């Protein structure tokens, strides 16, 4: 049996890992038990690396290990770019073996897997889909999750094309999916999401063609949140679900907001995680929330419920991902009185176009 | 007695006034009865002027009057800059005299006044406060509103300093409140808001000193929304409230969200306007909503409920007003299932720091 | 014979057409002789329409014609988005018939043509290339230019795809080149540039395939500057060159800066137009400059002379066109001591990748 | 006698310190001799810290010292935010004692000093001016520079106000110069520049009043470039000049561009450093350039040579410092065919308003 714990901690900047350091120093967290860190970093994309480096340095010192050993042990998923009321923070997951006990219900469990290194020409292709699917299945086994309906959130960090990688592919006579890096990145994220969908039976193997990626929007996962980074060479997969093999005091649930105004979808997520409420979440139930992960999809759309928006057309269109995150963070944040919750952008096969995926981790009552 | 009508219409761009043209053409709106247009325009600041010019041109043709005559008859308040789920649109108010009838309750009424032209050195000073206060009082008389508690929204458009105006003041040996145009603009908006507060008895005459403007944040109005524009030379005041002299089918109500997550404050506004609901606003009550005006205040704060945000510190800080509007639009929009509602930024003495002011116009049941 | 005159005038905002109004009022410009207005407008894209509307209104009044008549007579090319030291302004071209005189050298002449309305599915295709090529040839005839080497600048404004236009094509069972509007816009601009190249013999008919557009960068024109706008439905072509049929006091010349630092390329343009200097342009020669049109290409590249830049990778990448214009404006502006010169972005087949095209109009000595 | 060496090295990202690592590994650079690193980092402000951390980590490993020891030995000046053609890079200065030799001319020498820690209430005040002045004088002594005219560049990094620092001051009953952090930062930079000016005799002691800082623009230094960072608690001063005590193969020179188009001012700088040319710098002289440091001032102005610009008024106004750097980098870069030169923004008392300060380090012939 496993015990999984969750610590959501604020950061004063991308370089601030002091709150975790304190928990380690006062014995609350044993760094050897840390199995993943998921951060919402402010600043630009470089702040992700900056933040990860600071975690590595601090943990390397606390654990008396090399930075390489730390980063091998602990996958760090840095979700960059904050806006609006989003509050920079990170969630630390710990996991330890405990003696088998009688359990009455499934509890939070994590599976963490890495695919093999992908070749640049494989980014955004069926090959990536299959590799991610395999990693998700392995992660389910690792997490002790048998039923796909017990998987509520799958975070995937996958590689981006870069000039050097295109050159590498070209030097071997290979073709990449697109030399437009934005398009190629979208396809990498899309392939990762389809990999989750395939593993969870949300789509079938024959759906998965190169042509379908970032094209057939009827294919999607309801629990995938994927992002791409230049620093990645393989796909990092974190599966979160509920398992009989866990004695965690936490449970996870999820729901789909069919559009950004669909608060009922968010309520479904909180209820699925075990919160008890009718229309409004009362304070005692809010207090049970450990954290919330949202995958934002508003940037896929130029309108909502028949109302035209300027998300994709105005002079801030270059930042539409940030703004999509800011608005969903505000809406869900207003439901629970707290905006220190994670929002990730990326609509590619992550739910139906324009939807938002909400996963909530809450204390079991 | 007066009858006041409200038409909320979408626009496909700052130059699109076709929906109003249609209503005039099919007889729904008599252009001679139009008493105000309040628009939420996309694009940058210039789009405000572009939009106003298009309204003038179309109305000048429909009414067979000069553009000058049109703009003299119809104050146009263009609130620029949209973001997130905000949907560009405009609200047309019409007003006509009707025969006296027995009324059971106070209904929506408007008073519209213009102060005298202000000298540049008066912008952001006690003089501006007093002029706006006088205009508000006159507008209340015009609207037939006797009780200040019946005033629910006061929109003020006031002048901004420009290089030419500073030069003018200097040439007459006068000093402006600040040669930093952003600071001077803030003080102009702040002075306007304090003018509303003074007229409505929310502050007292002795509170109003030059030094207090944009400094003593304990002074504020709970119903003022002010914005400044380079094109203004006087302060344009639109008072909206409920009056015994109106037979409008609409009522207006208001409420203060003490911070951006305070959905209870928004509910107060809708209930004050007459909507009937417990926690969630049902569709039949949503259908009664004619429009909503929100004054956003999130850009005044670098944190919310103890959570640090990056609103004022990150690389999008230059657009924090737009983002503050986008998040409050999203939150209130999610409550009513519609984001085609107006949001204006400007925290200066418009509610307590960090608050949002919500005014709702709804069909009387 | 024709006399062509050039007036470069500053604007205080997109709505400021007062300088031209003054020239009309004092008799310097006869509005009936205006054959084109090319403006560099500040603000966002909407400011282009705002500016054009203001020109139409003013000219309609001065000429006692309808706005439609004005816009039919006078093509207005509004180049939006300014940055850095760029100074908003417009250039007015007038043209009138004069009695034949003995001429010693070719002088500035303009040809202005409009293609037929393009169907959305034709945007960015060989069809557009051919239509633009035909228009350029007709414009050369109109301008009295026989030799393609006498053409020094061809400005083309072409249509952009919009959601409505895609819908229109789809409704007729047609496919557009891309439903990504940015890609489609690039192809529209690219096709226009190839049209110029084809007309001028810089490429051959067999080069012009749908596949080559925005793909084979070895195809380009050295004198084309193209931009796309949602408001266009046809391609507007302005050919500028030198002709024996003109008695203008101006000449035009051009040159290619092979990269943004290639000041020698810019010198070639000024010398080609007739300026006399060795390395530095002296004040008396600067005084001969009527205006300069530059097509910027720096936004096509992520490096210059082996030095990596952040033009395409940093958080301002969404504005790379503006920044590319700002830097070339600064470099050429520093050569002539004046930044009130026009810069247009758009690298698609407008010169070799990364180049800048410079056209200078100067007073004949 | 001292020998000072200069290495200008490209970086592929804020975390890339590999070029210096290579020079250390191949014996070209002895890390113990490194006396300063000045970097031009891309990304947002956080990338500065990220970059510095990477230098510390690499050098700590190469030198077998702690990160603290490294940062104590080597001041690192990270100038953040790049735009346009600016190319991220860093300049490494080394210094070592050598035996006395006969010298014929003064050569490049550096003095590096740190003021005491400033209290938040001292930021932007006369106290800061005096402390910086003292540090500059000490740095001149350290550098062996006796004559103020031999000082050609003084880089100062000084502290910014933060919320925590304001709280600290308030808790001790003290007042900071402004609670608007942008204003306070400007005053901190301004005070630093005046400190340089005072030390070099460009202003007199009586000029230095609290009120003059960021107000009396007639006071300035022609060689100061100052920037402020939240991470600083004291002022870091790097004085660069020519000294008889140096046998460096480099010399430094400087010049003032009175506005951004004043290329003659830049030529003065290159000639002052010893380059030999008439109007255009030929390749053999360009090859002598080790690096160039520019302090940009275009963001102080809304016009240039009578031409209005949109630098301070348009929707990119929030990034005007970046854009001011991009345009001056382009202009000077075009003069020498290389944009991998440093540009820093900050007009506060750093030259006359609107000027640009250019310092060039070149190989002695």
For residue A365, pLDDT beyond 90? no
Task: Tell me the two tokens of residue C69.
Answer: 């008549």
pLDDT digits (tens, 9 = 90+) for A317-336: 999 999 999 999 999 999 99
When pLDDT is cut at 50, 70 and 90, the band that residue B365 belongs to is confident
Q: CA–CA distance from D161 to each of A139, B325, C109, C251, D164 (Å)?
A: 47, 28, 60, 57, 8
Mutation target among D19, D46, D80, D308 for the C interface, most CBs of C within 10 A:
D308
| The predicted structure's pLDDT at residue C102 | 81
Whether A315 sits inside 8 A of C163 (CB atoms) is no
CA dihedral B305, B310, B316, B321 (to 10 degrees): 20
pLDDT digits (tens, 9 = 90+) for C198-215: 999 999 999 999 999 999
Query: Please, which chains are in contact with A (at least 3 CB pairs closer than 8 A)?
Result: B, C, D
Q: Does C47 touch chain B (CB under 8 A)?
A: yes
* pLDDT for the residue D254: 98
- The residue of chain D nearest to residue A52, with distances taken between CA atoms, is D50
Task: Sheet containing A289-296: give its strands across.
Answer: A250-257, A356-363, A289-296, A342-345
Q: C 302-361 residues with CB below 8 A of D?
A: 303-305, 307-311, 313-316, 319, 322-324, 326-331, 333-334, 337-340
Q: Are the C-beta atoms of residues C297 and C256 closer than 8 Å to each other? A: no
Using the predicted structure, report yes or no on whether residue C88 has a pLDDT greater than 90. Answer: yes
B43 touches chain D (CB under 8 A): no
Give dist(CA B52, CA B35) in Å, integer: 14
Which chain C residues are Cβ-neighbours of A163 within 8 angstroms? 302
pLDDT of residue B93: 98
C179: nearest CA partner in chain A: A215
- Average the pLDDT over C2-29 and give the result: 97
C315–B46 C-beta distance less than 8 A: no
Mutate to test the interface with A, among B83, B262, B279, B319 (most CBs of A within 10 A): B83
The pLDDT of residue D101? 82
pLDDT score of B179: 87
Mean pLDDT (whole number) for A102-106: 87
Residue B85: which of A42, A260, A340 has the nearest Cβ?
A260
Q: Across chain C, what does the average pLDDT equal? A: 96
Would you call B276 an interface residue with chain D, using a CB distance cutoff of 8 Å?
A: no
Q: Measure CA B73 to chain center.
A: 18
The predicted pLDDT at position C291 comes to 98
Q: Is A300 on the interface with B (CB under 8 A)?
A: no
Chain A interface test: which of B307, B315, B319, B320 (most A C-beta within 10 Å): B307
Residue B104 pLDDT > 90, yes or no? Answer: no
Report, as an integer, the average pLDDT of A2-7.
98
pLDDT average, residue stretch C190-196:
98
State the pLDDT at residue D103.
80
Of A327, A345, A329, the C-alpha closest to A337 is A329
Q: For residue D43, list chain C residues with Cβ-Cβ distance below 8 A.
A: 314-315
Sole residue written with tokens 């005007």: D320
B224-257 confidence digits (pLDDT tens): 999 998 889 999 999 999 999 999 999 999 999 9
Q: What are phi and psi of B363, to 5 degrees?
A: -70, 135
What average pLDDT score do residues C175-197 get?
95
Any idea which fold B249-363 has? 60s Ribosomal Protein L30; Chain: A; (3.30.1330)
- Full-model pTM: 0.96
Q: Over the stretch D182-222, which tens digit does the pLDDT of each residue have? A: 899 999 999 999 999 999 999 999 999 999 999 999 999 99
Looking at residue D231, what is its pLDDT?
82
Question: Regarding predicted confidence, which is higher, D136 or A103?
Answer: D136
Q: What is the pLDDT of residues A261-275, one digit of tens each?
A: 999 999 999 999 999
pLDDT score recorded for residue B180: 86
Nearest CA-CA partner of A250 in A202, A203, A292? A292
Per CATH, D107-240 and D249-363 having the same topology is answered yes
Instruction: Report the percent of chain A where pLDDT is more than 70.
Output: 100
Average pLDDT, chain B: 96
**In this structure, what token pair is assigned to residue D57?**
């980590």
So what's the ipTM on this one?
Answer: 0.96
Contacts of C319 (CB under 8 A, 6+ apart): A318, C83, D316
Residue A101 has pLDDT above 90, yes or no: no
pLDDT beyond 90 at D102: no
Domain boundaries, chain C: 2-97, 107-240, 249-363
* Cα dihedral sign, B284-B285-B290-B292: negative
Residues C350-364: what's their mean pLDDT? 97
What is the predicted pLDDT for the residue at C365? 81
3-state secondary structure chain B: CEEEEEEEEECCCCCCCHHHHHHHHCCCCCHHHEEEEEEEECCCCHHHHHHHHHHHHHHHHHHCCCHHHHHHHCCEEEEECCCCCCCCEEEEEEEEECCCCCCCCCEEEEEEEECCCCCHHHCCCHHHHHHHHHHHHHHHHHHCCCCHHHEEEEEEEEECCCHHHHHHHHHCCCCCCCCCHHHHHHHHHHHHHHHHHHHCCCCCHHHCCHHHCCCCCCCCECCEEEEEECCCCCCEEEEEEEECCECCCEEEEEEEECCCCCHHHHHHHHHHHCCCCCCCCCHHHHCCEEEEEEEECHHHCCEECCEECCCCCCCCHHHHHHHHHHHHHHHHHHHHCCCCCEEEECCCCECCCCCEEEEEEEECC
What is the C-alpha to C-alpha distance for residues D184 and D124, in angstroms, rounded to an integer? Answer: 7
pLDDT tens figures, B176-223: 999 888 899 999 999 999 999 999 999 999 999 999 999 999 999 999
Q: Which of the residue ranges A225-239, A266-280, B124-138, D196-210 would you say has the lowest mean pLDDT?
A: A225-239
**Nearest chain C CA: its distance from B50 CA (Å):** 5
Q: Determine, for residues A47 and D45 on separate chains, whether the beta-carbon distance falls below 8 Å.
A: no
When pLDDT is cut at 50, 70 and 90, the band that residue A4 belongs to is: very high
Mean of pLDDT values over B95-103: 89
Residue C19 has pLDDT above 90, yes or no: yes
**Closest Cα of chain D to A14: distance in Å?**
7
pLDDT at res. B101: 82
The pLDDT, as a whole number, for residue A100 is 83
* Residue in B44, B315, B319 nearest the CB of D44: B315
Sign of CA dihedral A64, A69, A71, A73: negative
- Is residue C21 very low, low, confident or very high in pLDDT (cuts 50, 70, 90)? very high
C227 is catalytic: yes
The shortest C-alpha distance from C296 to chain A (Å) reads: 20
CATH fold label, D107-240: 60s Ribosomal Protein L30; Chain: A; (3.30.1330)
Report, as an integer, the average pLDDT of D87-102: 94
- Of the pLDDT bands very low, low, confident and very high (cuts 50, 70, 90), residue A63 is very high
Mean pLDDT, range B333-352, rounded to an integer: 97
The verdict on C50 touching B (C-beta cutoff 8 Å) is yes
* Nearest residue, CB atoms, D46 vs list A50, A57, A315: A50
Contact A49 D15 (CB under 8 A): yes
pLDDT tens, position by position, D30-69: 999 999 999 999 999 999 999 999 999 999 999 999 999 9
- For domain C2-97, give the CATH number: 3.30.1330.170
């Amino acid at each position: 049996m496993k015990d999984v714990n969750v610590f959501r901690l604020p950061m004063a900047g991308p370089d601030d890992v002091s709150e975790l350091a304190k928990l380690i120093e006062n014995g609350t967290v044993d760094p050897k038990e840390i199995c993943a860190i998921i951060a919402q970093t402010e600043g630009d994309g470089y702040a992700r690396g900056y933040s990860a480096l600071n975690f590595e340095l601090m943990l390397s010192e606390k654990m008396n290990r090399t930075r390489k050993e730390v980063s091998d042990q602990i996958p760090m998923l840095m979700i960059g770019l904050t806006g609006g009321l989003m509050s920079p923070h990170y969630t630390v997951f710990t996991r330890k073996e405990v003696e088998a006990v009688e359990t009455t219900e499934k509890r939070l469990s994590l599976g963490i897997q890495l695919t093999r290194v992908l070749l640049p020409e494989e980014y955004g292709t069926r090959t990536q889909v299959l590799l991610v699917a395999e990693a998700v299945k392995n992660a389910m086994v690792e997490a002790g999750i048998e039923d796909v309906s017990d998987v509520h959130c799958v975070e995937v960090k996958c590689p981006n094309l870069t000039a050097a990688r295109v050159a590498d592919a070209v030097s071997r006579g290979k073709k990449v999916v697109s030399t437009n890096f934005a398009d190629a990145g979208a396809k990498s994220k899309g392939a990762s999401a389809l990999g989750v969908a395939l593993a969870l039976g949300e789509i079938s193997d024959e759906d998965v063609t190169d042509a379908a990626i970032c094209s057939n929007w009827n294919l999607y996962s309801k629990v995938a949140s994927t992002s791409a980074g230049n620093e990645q060479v393989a796909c990092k997969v974190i599966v979160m679900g509920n398992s009989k093999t866990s004695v965690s005091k936490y449970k996870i649930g999820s729901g789909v907001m069919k559009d950004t105004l669909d608060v009922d979808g968010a309520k479904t997520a909180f209820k699925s995680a075990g919160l008890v409420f009718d229309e409004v979440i009362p304070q005692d139930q809010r207090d049970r929330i450990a954290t919330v992960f949202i995958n934002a999809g508003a940037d896929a759309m130029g309108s909502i419920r028949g109302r035209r928006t300027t998300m994709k057309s105005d002079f801030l269109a270059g930042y539409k991902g940030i703004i999509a995150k800011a608005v969903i963070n505000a809406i869900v944040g207003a439901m629970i009185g707290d905006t220190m919750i994670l929002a990730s952008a990326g609509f590619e096969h992550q739910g139906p176009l324009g939807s938002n995926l909400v996963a909530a981790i809450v204390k079991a009552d």
